[in-house]
Chain A
């Protein structure tokens, strides 16, 4: 490969060579950054995952022992269950709500910018401030959520102190910050050519049919891409669980990253934590690939028409 590169460089004119050199000089900050802050750490962490290492002395090679220990560790399975449940709930609910609101906003309504501002505002706030805010919303007494439930005759639970309800509370909370998705879907819907809807109107299509046969297929690549991003994000959630419950009560909100953080930076088990990180890496890659593979079933690309 290097030889081929060399050949091509040699073949090219001095001006092209100069341009290539300029290119590499200009991208060097990113390239160096990529090597130092991505490539090297990934390989290093892969290596560390086969060692036992606590910053004292050199890492000691232990083969697959970290992985064996992880797979027999109840904390790992609990954190995996919690994280996958959270990802499922927050992505499914969040995407549905965002789509619904984007669809409504895409109609010709009054004050569209105001609505968009309202829905988008929470997503700019720091997850810490949002978590603190919801700490109060979920208070069993005097918290807004239970007051709202009380108004319709439901006695709300002690959300964040209950093993059963702490995770659902965080999922509900995640729906508060879907403003970004609304904006993206709204732009996506706006980008669908009007001519398609005009044709549908001529055929006498109902609003539901317009949604089912035009909006949804045309929007599916955008939905698909954002679902992938949302899943990746949800699997790496940390702040919310850390601030609200520190993983409790009784590990019912032990997110994967909380477990990893505790292993790495509280117990200083860097080898073990690296193995955890690589398992998460593989899980995320697997889920992403799975979604991409399955996408042919439900994502519509315009090129298919041809």
Chain B
């Protein structure tokens, strides 16, 4: 074999393989692959964080991750501010947008009278349960293997010890019913005895008499959905006026129908929530007034703009009576507004009244919700009276276009939307008794002071090391280089002592004062730069009689802009990112720099409940560094090369 192979001329493939071009291509493919893996490792966490900072919080920990922030799509129900979520569903090969108009839960129940063939089986002889649909009824089927024979069974109850009571699927098929869970649960509880075993069942009244059933599960949902247009005519009615009026059959499920007191028309209830009467604050400021109790007549309930409110007759002394809405009723007097001026009186979802504040008019207090938004309009609204339960109803003709679908086939309709709520909250929420922008201010103050200190001290010291001759200079330069390698923890404790004795603990002083005494690395870098400046330039100045400081200022500083830029950038970098020293020296949060302040968004073990704010705050904290980096990357890289090349 081997000899024949040797004799054979090199194949085309071998030729290709040995060609330089081929090798180069392979090598560059491998190179790019490794680079891409590395870049993914670097970029994905950052992109994830930046995109998460602009997501609504429910999207932050989805799996798989959502890379582009999205928002739920919704339609507005009728003339209310209630948003109804949109879903996408596949029907006849097409994707449709729908809204949920009802859902019902079903369970599999066994007609106790027809249950036979029960067996007690050790649980380890049973396979795992798989949900199987037989003739429209769902069973948790398990395989039972005994004596080499396998049959499908369903576990019904616990038996003695580790045994389970099972029945063969073939028996259950004839005895099982698919029943709405609410119907099953409405029956009275009963204990049934079958083949000596006890079962907990329900007794249900049917047209043919009492039926004893044993619910065995699994429970399944069926959702009724309809076109989004169904909500166009939606309106709110007080929940207590709504009563049940049978069901409409939709596909495999039923949808409960309702009637509203005083009418025979049938409706579908989309949702029942708590609603709060509100009125725009500027309208309240313009038209509301405080009326003396004596000037007010009998109170009555009346609909104003579809909102049931208390109204009364107001008769000012010597004036004409008018009907007013009572906004806040007090013991001596009440805050009222004329009915005709209460144009913005309406209902708002109570769930939106999350951050109310108190306000008063002539010492009568009321509550205000700022930033209440309806569509594009945001306003401050005053809360009137108590919240009430309201049912959102649509006419029952909506069932004509409705159909049923399993919840698994419903998918929330989403669209790309960047939200800045996390940022707003991070910036405006009180943390540690102060606000996040304070940390920024502190960091910037430190950056500026440290920069001034480093630039002045490093230029002067570096000049001396670069240009002047003196005994002991080389030794001192070695000491300077040595301090770059010294571990700083060894100085932590005495340094704290020094600043404590100077009464500087819990001030910013310890965090910037040392920069006025130079920094070994920056001095070294500056000296290298100064050494490369031709001597002739300063000779000329010196002959003119310029002083040393003047030479530094007039000759070296203008020529050293790149080096000074590096000093500034490195100072910014170190100051912005320093953590341990602020942690040691500062205890009042209003003095914290960003690095330390960030920790406030996080509790001890990183399980922050405010993770959306924490992410936004982290991105904010990175921003100055990222901006600096993109504008001055060259200086970072030059400086870094200095640190590593000796």
- Contacts from A to B (Cβ < 8 Å): 5, 8-9, 16, 19-20, 22-24, 26-27, 29-34, 36-38, 40-42, 44-45, 48, 55, 97, 100-101, 104-105, 107, 109, 115-122, 124-129, 132-137, 139, 141-144, 147, 160-161, 175-176, 180-181, 183-185, 187-188, 191, 207, 221-222, 225-226, 228-229, 232, 235-236, 238-239, 242-246, 248, 257, 260-261, 264-265, 270, 273-274, 277-278, 280-281, 284, 288
Residue numbers in B under 8 Å from A22 (CB-CB): 464, 468, 548
Report 21 cross-chain contacts, Cβ distance below 8 Å, ordered by A residue. Answer: A20-B470, A33-B518, A34-B479, A37-B495, A41-B494, A42-B490, A45-B493, A48-B493, A101-B34, A109-B35, A117-B633, A119-B42, A122-B42, A128-B598, A129-B621, A133-B49, A136-B60, A207-B27, A229-B485, A229-B644, A257-B580
In the assembled complex, the Cα of A290 lies from the Cα of B490 at a distance in Å of: 20
Residue numbers in A under 8 Å from B469 (CB-CB): 16, 19-20, 23
Residue numbers in A under 8 Å from B488 (CB-CB): 236
* Known contacts A26-B468, A127-B577, A284-B487, A226 near B39 by CB under 8 Å: no
Q: How far is the CB of B480 from chain A (nearest CB, A)?
A: 7
* Known contacts A26-B548, A187-B641, A132 near B602 by CB under 8 Å: yes
**Is the pair B468, A41 in contact by a Cβ cutoff of 8 Å?**
no
Q: Tell me if B457 counts as interface (CB < 8 A to partner A).
A: yes
Q: Tell me if B139 counts as interface (CB < 8 A to partner A).
A: no
Which among B43, B49, B489 has the greatest number of chain A C-beta atoms within 10 A?
A: B489
In the assembled complex, the Cα of A29 lies from the Cα of B490 at a distance in Å of: 22
* In the complex, residue of chain B having the shortest beta-carbon distance to the beta carbon of A226: B644
Residue numbers in A under 8 Å from B472 (CB-CB): 5
**Is the pair B579, A277 in contact by a Cβ cutoff of 8 Å?**
no
Known: A44-B494, A109-B31, A207-B27. 7 other contacts (CB 8 A): A30-B461, A101-B34, A120-B636, A137-B48, A147-B65, A225-B644, A264-B496
Q: Could you say which of A26, A30, A243 contacts B599, with CB atoms under 8 Å apart? A: A243
Q: Tell me if B61 counts as interface (CB < 8 A to partner A).
A: yes
**Is the pair B39, A118 in contact by a Cβ cutoff of 8 Å?**
yes
In the assembled complex, the Cα of A133 lies from the Cα of B622 at a distance in Å of: 11
In the assembled complex, the Cα of A188 lies from the Cα of B646 at a distance in Å of: 10
**Is the pair B637, A183 in contact by a Cβ cutoff of 8 Å?**
yes
**Is the pair A29, B35 in contact by a Cβ cutoff of 8 Å?**
no
* Known contacts A236-B487, A270-B493, A104 near B34 by CB under 8 Å: yes
* Known contacts A20-B469, A132-B614, A180-B640, A29 near B31 by CB under 8 Å: no
Q: Tell me if B18 counts as interface (CB < 8 A to partner A).
A: no
**Is the pair B485, A288 in contact by a Cβ cutoff of 8 Å?**
yes
Residue numbers in A under 8 Å from B461 (CB-CB): 26-27, 29-30
**Is the pair B548, A142 in contact by a Cβ cutoff of 8 Å?**
no
**Is the pair B577, A128 in contact by a Cβ cutoff of 8 Å?**
yes
**Is the pair A29, B485 in contact by a Cβ cutoff of 8 Å?**
no
Q: Could you say which of A26, A160, A222, A228 contacts B606, with CB atoms under 8 Å apart? A: A160
* Known contacts A33-B518, A107-B31, A23 near B492 by CB under 8 Å: no
In the assembled complex, the Cα of A66 lies from the Cα of B476 at a distance in Å of: 34
Q: Could you say which of A27, A147, A221 contacts B476, with CB atoms under 8 Å apart? A: A27
In the assembled complex, the Cα of A120 lies from the Cα of B644 at a distance in Å of: 15
Which residues of B from 486 to 540 have beta carbons under 8 Å from A? 486-498, 500, 514, 516-518, 523
In the assembled complex, the Cα of A135 lies from the Cα of B628 at a distance in Å of: 25
In the assembled complex, the Cα of A75 lies from the Cα of B637 at a distance in Å of: 40
**Is the pair B35, A104 in contact by a Cβ cutoff of 8 Å?**
yes
Give 10 closest A-B pairs by Cβ, nearest first.
Answer: A33-B517, A184-B644, A142-B61, A126-B577, A20-B470, A26-B464, A41-B494, A23-B470, A41-B491, A30-B518
Residue numbers in A under 8 Å from B495 (CB-CB): 37, 41
Q: How far is the CB of B488 from chain A (nearest CB, A)?
A: 7
Residue numbers in B under 8 Å from A236 (CB-CB): 487-489
Q: Tell me if B573 counts as interface (CB < 8 A to partner A).
A: yes
Q: Tell me if B144 counts as interface (CB < 8 A to partner A).
A: no
**Is the pair B595, A176 in contact by a Cβ cutoff of 8 Å?**
no
* Known contacts A127-B579, A222-B644, A29 near B517 by CB under 8 Å: yes
Which residues of B from 252 to 303 have beta carbons under 8 Å from A? none
**Is the pair A126, B621 in contact by a Cβ cutoff of 8 Å?**
yes
Q: How far is the CB of A51 from chain B (nearest CB, A)?
A: 11
**Is the pair A23, B468 in contact by a Cβ cutoff of 8 Å?**
yes
Residue numbers in B under 8 Å from A24 (CB-CB): 470
Residue numbers in B under 8 Å from A242 (CB-CB): 579, 583
Q: How far is the CB of A172 from chain B (nearest CB, A)?
A: 9
**Is the pair B498, A36 in contact by a Cβ cutoff of 8 Å?**
yes
1/0 per residue, CB under 8 A from A, across B16-58: the answer is 0000000000011001101100110111111011001000000
In the assembled complex, the Cα of A94 lies from the Cα of B174 at a distance in Å of: 68
Q: Could you say which of B32, B465, B614, B645 contacts A187, with CB atoms under 8 Å apart? A: B645
**Is the pair B490, A136 in contact by a Cβ cutoff of 8 Å?**
no
Residue numbers in A under 8 Å from B46 (CB-CB): 121-122, 133
Q: Tell me if B249 counts as interface (CB < 8 A to partner A).
A: no
Q: How far is the CB of B61 from chain A (nearest CB, A)?
A: 3
Q: Tell me if B604 counts as interface (CB < 8 A to partner A).
A: yes
Q: Tell me if B440 counts as interface (CB < 8 A to partner A).
A: no
Which residues of B from 619 to 644 have beta carbons under 8 Å from A? 621-622, 625-626, 628-629, 633, 636-637, 640-641, 643-644
Which among A24, A33, A184, A288 has the greatest number of chain B C-beta atoms within 10 A?
A: A33
Which residues of B from 340 to 355 have beta carbons under 8 Å from A? none
Q: Tell me if B555 counts as interface (CB < 8 A to partner A).
A: no
In the assembled complex, the Cα of A235 lies from the Cα of B517 at a distance in Å of: 26
Residue numbers in B under 8 Å from A42 (CB-CB): 486, 490-491, 494
* In the complex, residue of chain B having the shortest beta-carbon distance to the beta carbon of A244: B606
Q: Tell me if B576 counts as interface (CB < 8 A to partner A).
A: yes
Residue numbers in B under 8 Å from A264 (CB-CB): 492-493, 496
In the assembled complex, the Cα of A115 lies from the Cα of B173 at a distance in Å of: 65
Q: Tell me if B62 counts as interface (CB < 8 A to partner A).
A: yes
* Known contacts A34-B483, A248-B605, A101 near B38 by CB under 8 Å: yes
